Every structure is written in structure tokens, then in C-alpha cells.
Structure 1
């Protein structure tokens, strides 16, 4: 029976973490984490270095022991089970392949160690899955980084784990290879139907592959949901800043009803959909993604009915091929980012051009002013 067939045979179990905590001598890495990963999904733990994501993965793998809390697969608790007894396998960033063995034997290693029969057929099936059938007799050193990563994946999958843990698996690859492997990993996960839990600090990587993302910060989950949900409707400034780029502008709630929250921004009233307004009184941060911001030379019409502001001046223009990225200084002194697709509809606006700014109300969101406006912002090296 193939791995894909086995994974859909009805025995799949969800992974559940309950009040999971890991304390070290000088700090708490993971704080009372509650999390459920549905069987058969591609789940990403996303966050900056030191947020607790790798520690969480290591506790699931059995490589670190929780200070408190529990880990369940379905109804079975595995919190203190030895790593080799768990139906879990891990793929690390450094691949950990045996350099003296060829690819076939690397993939076969775990099965042979357990005395499994019909190893060659299973290895061939795995190499076909990762599209490396022709490379079976090569040594790891004769292969590219992307090929070595696929060997490591095949070696983990051949053991038929219920959960595959991926710890920054693409971090050692160059950008082009990494993007190709993102697509490959998602294809393989879809084909075999196993639960993948992927740890990464790369926002694009998580959003490209995962069905669900949990954004971690300081040992806790800031927000969890689909990539589109987290990007379009962040609930904290950390998530808004960490997932892509965003404009966060100060405002004061002027009124609210069941559908819309109205916010005064420096004398202009803007509207926020009620389900995207995460505060309904006092001060707040009005958020809008740069690609949702529309520009036009002063006085010219903008095809975005709703939130419209005047008095902007372009202070920076960056042509990046598919788009042009503008900085626009607003009358109150803040610079807004605006990304415009280079469709050829009009010429690039020049530095110093006076512009009006607009966005559709349904794309905006509102966050409490008590949250740090710079939380989650990735500083340039």
C-alpha cells in the first residue's frame, strides 16, 4: 500500500498541544501554548528568532521535555514518550544525510534498521514521490542542496510518520531553489496527505505552503488562521508588521454601528468594517497594506470610493520591475507606503509630485492604540 493510500485510510489523528510550557534557567521559551493541528494539513509555526517555535517543535519530536502541559496525537498522550516511539519524524535544515551511503541506502536506512521486508520497492516509491529515481546510486555530495533536501524528506516519509516536522528545512538553500522547493513541499504534502508542521521565520515561505499559520511571538501565539486571514485582517500590530508591510496611522474612533466603525484621522473621517475593527472606542491604529493604497496627481480622480486624503507629496520612488514603490509624506508628517503594479496604464510618478491618496474602506483594519506600532517590524540589516 502506498503512503498516500495509508494516510487516507481513516487512522489519521490530529496533533493537540494543551497548556504547553517550556522554561529554561533564565527565560520561558513557550508559555502555556494551546494548539490543535488537524490531521492531513500543512501547518506553519511562523515567527522571529527566539519566539519559541523551534522549542515547540522539539517538544513535539520528544527532543525537549515540557516543563508542564501535554501533547496528544488523537486520544493518545505522547508528552513523555521516547522520540523513537513517537509516530513523528523530523527533517532538519542540515539534512543529516549519511555521506558514505548512496541515496537509495540513505532512504532505506530506517526500514533496514527495523528489519522491514520489501525495502527496495518502498525506496523506489519514495524516490519517485520526490522525483529522484534517476539519482538513486549517487552519493549526497554529488547532489545539489535542493536534491539533498528531497532525499532527507524521502528518508523521513518512508517511515510513514503520522506527523512530519520540518525545522527551517529550506534555510540553507538560495532564493531560487527555496522558491522551487516551497512548491515541491506543498505538492508532496498534498499527495501523501500527511500532517506537516513547518517551523520558519520566512513569511513568504509560510504563506506559500501552509493551510494554517500560527504567528508566534515571545512564546505565545499572537494569531492563528489562513494566510489570507492573517494578512488581510491582522488582530495585532505584531502580526500586521511581521506578515508583509503595512501602514499604521493614528486615529480616534468617532462612532460605531453594527457594520462600520468611523475613525477621525487628522480631520478626515475614514470607515473600517466592523469585523476588521479590533477596538471600538478611543484611539487606534488604522491599517492599510501598501498595495491597497491608490495614488493620483493632486486633483485627479481616483477609482477608490471611500477613504480619500489630500495633501500628499512623493518623497521616494523605487522601481522594482513588477511594481513601483512610493513613499508619500502626508500633511501630518507620516510617510505612507504605496505599491503600484507597473501595468503601463500611466507613467511612474516623479519625486516631489503632489498627490491625493485613497483606499477602499473594506481593505482597512483598526487596531488598539495600546499596541506598539513598531511591534513585529523587521529592521533592515
Structure 2
């Protein structure tokens, strides 16, 4: 265990409880616009937590209030049991890593990381900086200036400079937004490794669904200033509770249906003449109408009359309207008898031919993969978002 993780564990033992970060009824209004609306949130110490949402959802405003860069309209923020709602930014045990790195261009890597320690006239600077640069795997780059480093290396310097201050919470504001796709994916794993090693609380703000699900232990999906749903990435993806979460995290087929029976284990729904079953714990509609949800990769596609390995929910009469080949998989659009086009993702294993436009097909899925959402919600919510970092 690292020295930072040791200190966190000792603090928890001394207090007798893990206070972590707590937001209570936190609200931020800008004139007539409410950016964050009565937000309650608990982030335990040592967690890797992600605030995920589209532009304007309130995620960055929340982060800035925790950092002390915005003053709440109402509500409270406590960290480790201490109220920091109106504390000055420099008096909070919090550091922030921004998308633009904010490194000092005239200082080399070593001095960028040492800056805070030297300013506070702390001791043993050389050893602590060396240990931190080794942690972020930049021990061989100590005397280079930021301009001589790649984007990923600059981001590691920014991480090291923030972590060396031993904050209780590290805030990451779209930290990978300036990197290209390949480097971004590499840095996702690198930041997760660093967080695991140091044992600090990381709160990561992003509009990138893949980034949040890859890195975070817990994800809170924000929309219009509130949290739509919070949980482990797999839980949010497999069992969304709102149409916004279903559409924003990946893609979903949402099909109009009418509930015909509610049993203890399964809910039966009439889907345009076909009876489908949905596990009760995945049914989130109280009325007799709902949206039947199924992820495209959970849908099986086959020839007319073909026996598919998904007993219970077989839907005949489909016609392929579009085919997109992606190498490892093929994406189909299939028009169903009621006129709706459903998405199907199939892995290219070579076991079956790739269908072509105009082919008549049947679709099927296992009941345990479906979910049911309230029909009063917009089926298109979250599906088409104009994402922009920093909102």
C-alpha cells in the first residue's frame, strides 16, 4: 500500500468512519437557469467516481462547487466530516486536473511537480518528486520542458503535480478531452492504475460514456441538473431505469408495448402482437404501457424459420434495410412489421453469412436481457446529444 493510502486508512480508523465527500441539497442557479438542482450525493473515500452527462447537464458546475470555484446557491458540501461549502479553494484538501493541463511552460517536469512543495517550503522535496514521477512513469523525463512532451506525458505531469499535494479528493475535469482516440484509451487505463495504487478518491467529469465506464467504479448519469441513475457501470448499462440512461449509455431499441400480466418473477408484455417476457427486477413501468428495451448486441438475427438460441421472444417478419460492416461485427437495421427499424449488432464469427439489404429475417432475444421503461418518458431522450466538454 502507498503512503497516501496508508494515511487514508489511518484517518478512517481514527474517525471511526469513512466520511468521504457528501453533497446535500446542492443547488446552483445562474439567473433563471438552474444548473444543479437539489443534488444529494455520497462519494466514499478511495472511490473512482464518474459524473457522466451531456453538455449543460451540470456535471462541471458540480465539480467546480466542490473545488470552490463556484459558490452554491444553496445546500452543503462536506469532506471528511468538515463543512467546506464556503471555504476558499486553497483551503480545501482538493486538487483539480484540467483538460488543458495548466503546466508552467518555463519549468521542467521536475520543477512543475515540485512547485507546490517548494511554495509551502516543505522538506524532502527531491525524494517525494522522484517517487511521484516514478509512479506516473516519467522518471526519465525529469528535465524536459512541457513543450517537449506528448499530450499523454503532459497529462501525467499534471496528475503528478496534483497528487504530490496529497489531496483527499482529486477532481478530473475532462482530463483526456485533448488527446487522440488511441492515446485517450491508453490513458484511461493508466489513470485507473494510478488511482488504484495511491488509493485516493478520484472524481472524474466526462461526457464520454466509454471513458466513464472503463475507468470508474461508480457512475452517476446526470441530466438537466439531476442524477438520473447511479451505480456500477455494468448495472447502468444492463438495467437502465430511464429512457435517457438507456439511450445515453450505448444504444437501445425501445419498442412500444402493453403489459398483460405481472407475476412475481416476470412481466408479460404484448409487443405489437408478440408476447414477450421481462424479469420483474428489470421492469420499471408502473402503468400498463411501457417501452420494451433491448440492446442491439443482445438481439439475434436469423433466416426466416431458423431456430435461434433465445427461447421466448422471437419476432418474425423483419426485413433488412441497412448493413454496415465494421470488421469484427456487422450492424443491421431491420424494419419490423409495425414499421419500426430495430438495430442489431452481430459478431463476425464466420458461422453464418452476412445478410444483405432486402433479406427477410427473424429476430430473437433472451427474456433476461430485456428491460421495461415507463411509457411517459421520451423514447428519444439521450439518443441525440450535442456533447461538448466542460459543462
Question: 1:150-176 deviations in whole A, cap 9, x for unaligned?
Answer: 000000000000000000000000000
How far is 1:345 from its partner? Answer: 1.1
Q: Greater shift after overlay, 343-352 or 302-311? A: 343-352
Q: Indicate the residue corresponding to 1:344 in structure 2.
A: 350
How far is 1:351 from its partner? Answer: 1.3
How far is 1:321 from its partner? Answer: 1.3
**Equivalent of 2:123 in 117, 120, 123:** 117
Q: Indicate the residue corresponding to 1:149 in structure 2.
A: 155
Q: Indicate the residue corresponding to 2:15 in structure 1.
A: none
How far is 1:82 from its partner? Answer: 0.7
**Equivalent of 2:240 in 226, 234, 246:** 234
How far is 1:380 from its partner? Answer: 8.4
Q: Measure, in 2, the Cα distance between the counterparts of 1:380 and 1:197.
A: 23
2:339 match: secondary structure: coil
Whether 1:82 aligns to 2:88 is: yes
**Stretches of structure 1 lacking an aligned partner (at least 5 in a row):** none
TM-score normalised to structure 2 length: 0.96
| 2:54/2:385 contact within 8 Å kept | no
Whether 1:318 aligns to 2:319 is: no
Root mean square deviation of aligned Cα:
1.2
Q: Measure, in 2, the Cα distance between the counterparts of 1:379 and 1:352.
A: 31
* 1:357-368 → structure 2 map (5 Å cutoff): 357-368=363-374
How far is 1:379 from its partner? Answer: 5.3
**Stretches of structure 2 lacking an aligned partner (at least 5 in a row):** 13-17
Whether 1:355 aligns to 2:356 is: no
Q: Measure, in 2, the Cα distance between the counterparts of 1:340 and 1:307.
A: 17
* 1:48-59 → structure 2 map (5 Å cutoff): 48-59=54-65
Q: Indicate the residue corresponding to 1:5 in structure 2.
A: 6
Question: 1:187-232 deviations in whole A, cap 9, x for unaligned?
Answer: 0000001000000000000000000000000000000000001000
Q: Measure, in 1, the Cα distance between the counterparts of 2:34 and 2:370.
A: 35
**Equivalent of 1:104 in 104, 110, 120:** 110
**Equivalent of 1:132 in 102, 117, 138:** 138
TM-score normalised to structure 1 length: 0.98
Q: Measure, in 2, the Cα distance between the counterparts of 1:121 and 1:214.
A: 38
How far is 1:277 from its partner? Answer: 0.3
Number of aligned positions between the proteins: 381
Q: Measure, in 2, the Cα distance between the counterparts of 1:237 and 1:117.
A: 54
Q: Measure, in 2, the Cα distance between the counterparts of 1:82 and 1:10.
A: 23
Question: 1:242-274 deviations in whole A, cap 9, x for unaligned?
Answer: 000000000001110111111001111100100
